[in-house]
Amino acid sequence: MDVGKLVAVIGDEDTVTGFLLAGVGHRTAEGSNFLIVKQDTQLTQVEESFQKLSQRNDIGIILINQHIANDIRHVLKDYNQTIPTVLEIPSKEHPYDPEQDYIMQRVNMFLGGGGI
């Protein structure tokens, strides 16, 4: 565990480029830890990529754009591992909507239901 885990990114071009500039990118012969989702990227490709990334044990966090997360919600619902953590982040074109985030739903339910 001396090297730490990677942060994977699935997102649109701006998101991925930004995080690559921040230095999360890792590309080896086996593949890379990011996926740029474009207009013409197939849904199955995103799903596949998510499955692959979530099964790698050198990845600690998966950042995913919310609008892409919505597209593969069915896969995310079945996903119940703690690590890698799936984190939904806003994208440039789609402002963040807490309503759609599973975690935020839980949080709101708890905070709203339990009262602060």
Partner 1 sequence: MADVPPTRMNQQIFKGKKKAAEGGHKLLKKKADALKVKFRDYAKAIAETKSSMTGDSSNAFFSMTQAEYAAGNFKQKVAEGSMTARVRVGAGVDNVAGVKLPVFTKYDTGAAADNQSLGLVGGGKKIQNVREKFTDLLEMLIKLASLQTSFQTLDEALKVTNRRVNALENVTIPKIEGILGYIARELDELEREDFTRLKLVQGKKEIEIKREAAQKAKEAAKIMVSGQARPKSNDADITAAFDANDDEDVVF
Partner 2 sequence: MSTPAPQAAAGNIATFNILHGFPEALVRGMRSSFLGDQDYHHLTQCETLDDVRLNLTETDYGDAIADFNAITPAVLQKAAIEKLVTEFKYLRTQSVEPLATFLDFITYEYMIENVMLLLKGALSGRDINELIEQCHPLGMFKESTMRSIPTFENSARGYADLYQTVLVDTPVGPYFAMFLQESSEHQGTDARHVLEEVEIEIIKSSLIKYWIEDFYHFVQKIGGETADIMGELLRVRADTNAINITLNSFGTPLNEPAMRSSDRKRLYPAVGHLYPAGTTELTEVSNEEELGRVLDLFPQYAAIWSMHASGGDKSIDDVFYERDVQSLELAFESQFHFGVFYAYAKLKEQEIRNLVWISECILQQQKDEINKFVPVFSFHSPWRGSKRR
Footprint on residues 95-114 left by partner 1 (CB under 8 A) = 95-96, 98, 101, 103-104, 106-108, 110-111, 114
> Of these partners, partner 1, partner 2, none, which one is at the site of residue 31 (CB under 5 to 8 Å by kind)?
none
Nearest to 84 by CA among 72, 76, 92: 76
Given 31, 92, 97, 106, the residue binding partner 2 (CB under 8 A): 92
89: helix, strand or coil: strand
And the tokens for 4? 């730490």
| Bond into 95 cis (ω within 30) | no
The C-alpha angle 14, 54, 7, rounded to 5 degrees, equals: 45
Q: Which residue has the tokens 């830890």?
A: 33
32: helix, strand or coil: strand
Q: Does 93 bind partner 2 (CB under 8 A)?
A: yes
Given 27, 43, 73, 107, the residue binding partner 2 (CB under 8 A): 27
Residues that bind partner 2 (CB under 8 A): 13, 27, 92-93, 95
Q: Kindly list the residues in this chain that would bind partner 1 in the complex (CB under 8 A).
A: 1, 3-7, 13-28, 33-34, 36, 60-61, 63, 82-83, 85, 87, 89-92, 95-96, 98, 101, 103-104, 106-108, 110-111, 114, 116
